[in-house]
């Protein structure tokens, strides 16, 4: 593909389809506002700008605002990662794909706003959702305090809250059945989570390295969900290095505890697994150095590494 430089932006152009992709910002130290045009001209031909490439604005710390024109259909993976001065972003009607970690580490981002005519995405008070609003996709980094997940949400998406620096308490509404990969990982201030006891899956690394997280409590829910394609598990490294975690309620119906799920939870003193658990992965409770009591279903085989480094563990109760 041919490259075109215009107004500090590098484009790739597709001559056959007469389209252009914003590939990267040339001066990555630029400070201020960027306006992406709807179309560009090269050698007498017009090209419609349709896509923002993966990593296009990655690390542009001085980028304060950006205008994304209607006509863009894709915002690529990590496209605005590390844009630490970006406070707000508007998603136009035409966007139908937003890549993974598109707004990761945008430390000043307080709002992701979606045009109401967009058929694929929406926002609720600046938080990004799919159009049906049953999946929470992205929570702006700079939003702090407490957050209640809206009713009707079924899934918290991968990386949705990852890295947030000022989030304190999250209340997860009763219809949520899945917390995605890395959904809350590396959250620097999260202290408390409440979730329904009908939660089915807390995926890999969901709360990995949430070092201030003190409690994960469940509450009774009468919600039901008929889709059996979602596994009933706490995934690998789901709570790894949650070094302040003192209380964890395992949702009813969980069947599998993944490898390293609670590795390094040094403040955890007690763990009680529901009778539905039938398998525990490798090193699941390694280095839980203050763990004193564990309640484990009779069917689960306990291997040598499951509680390695749990020097204070004196009582394993079978149920």
What are 204's two structure tokens?
């890999």
For 301, residues 6+ apart whose C-beta sits below 8 A from its C-beta are none
Domains of the chain, CATH where assigned: 1-112 (3.80.10.10), 144-319 (3.80.10.10)
| pLDDT value of position 228 | 79
| pLDDT value of position 315 | 85
Contact, 204 vs 226, CB < 8 A? no
| pLDDT value of position 199 | 96
Q: How far apart are CA 286 and CA 282, in angstroms?
A: 9
What are 306's two structure tokens?
């499951």
Contact, 212 vs 189, CB < 8 A? yes
What are 224's two structure tokens?
């039901």
| pLDDT value of position 46 | 97
Contact, 166 vs 187, CB < 8 A? no
DSSP state of 217: E
DSSP state of 149: P
**How does pLDDT run along the chain (319 residues), one tens digit per residue?**
799 999 999 999 999 999 999 999 999 999 999 999 999 999 999 999 999 999 999 999 999 999 999 999 999 999 999 999 999 999 999 999 999 999 999 999 999 999 999 999 999 999 999 999 999 999 999 998 999 999 999 999 999 999 998 999 999 999 999 999 999 999 989 999 999 999 999 999 999 999 999 999 999 998 888 777 889 999 999 999 999 999 999 999 999 999 999 999 999 999 999 999 999 999 999 999 999 999 999 999 988 889 999 999 988 999 9
| pLDDT value of position 246 | 97
Phi, psi for 259 (deg, rounded to 5): -55, 135
């Amino acid at each position: 593909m041919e490259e075109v430089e215009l107004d500090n932006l590098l484009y790739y152009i597709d001559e056959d389809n007469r389209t252009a992709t914003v590939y990267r910002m040339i001066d990555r130290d630029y400070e201020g506002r960027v306006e992406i045009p709807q179309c560009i001209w090269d050698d007498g031909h017009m090209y419609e700008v349709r896509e923002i490439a993966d990593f296009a604005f990655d690390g542009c710390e001085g980028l304060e605002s950006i205008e994304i024109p209607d006509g863009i259909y894709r915002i690529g993976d990590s496209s605005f990662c590390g844009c630490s001065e970006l406070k707000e972003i508007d998603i136009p009607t035409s966007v139908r794909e937003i890549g993974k970690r598109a707004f990761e580490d945008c430390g000043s981002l307080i709002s992701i706003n979606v045009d109401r005519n967009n058929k694929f995405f929406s926002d609720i008070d600046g938080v990004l959702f799919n159009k049906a609003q049953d999946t929470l996709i992205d929570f702006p980094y700079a939003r702090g305090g407490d957050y209640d997940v809206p009713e009707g949400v079924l899934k918290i998406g991968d990386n949705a809250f990852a890295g947030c620096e000022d989030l304190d308490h999250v209340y997860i509404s009763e219809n949520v059945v899945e917390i995605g990969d890395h959904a809350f990982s590396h959250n620097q201030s999260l202290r408390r989570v409440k979730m329904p006891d009908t939660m089915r899956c807390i995926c890999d690394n969901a709360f990995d390295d949430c070092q201030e997280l003190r409690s994960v409590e469940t509450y009774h829910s009468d919600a039901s969900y008929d889709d059996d394609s979602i596994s009933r598990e706490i995934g690998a490294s789901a709570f790894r290095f949650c070094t302040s975690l003192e209380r964890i309620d395992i949702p009813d119906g969980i069947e599998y505890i993944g490898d390293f799920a609670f590795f390094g939870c040094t403040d955890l003193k007690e763990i009680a697994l529901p009778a539905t658990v039938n398998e525990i992965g490798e090193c699941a409770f390694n280095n839980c150095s203050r763990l004193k009591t564990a309640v484990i279903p009779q069917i689960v085989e306990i291997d040598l590494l499951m509680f390695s480094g749990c020097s204070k563990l004196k009582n394993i109760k079978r149920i």
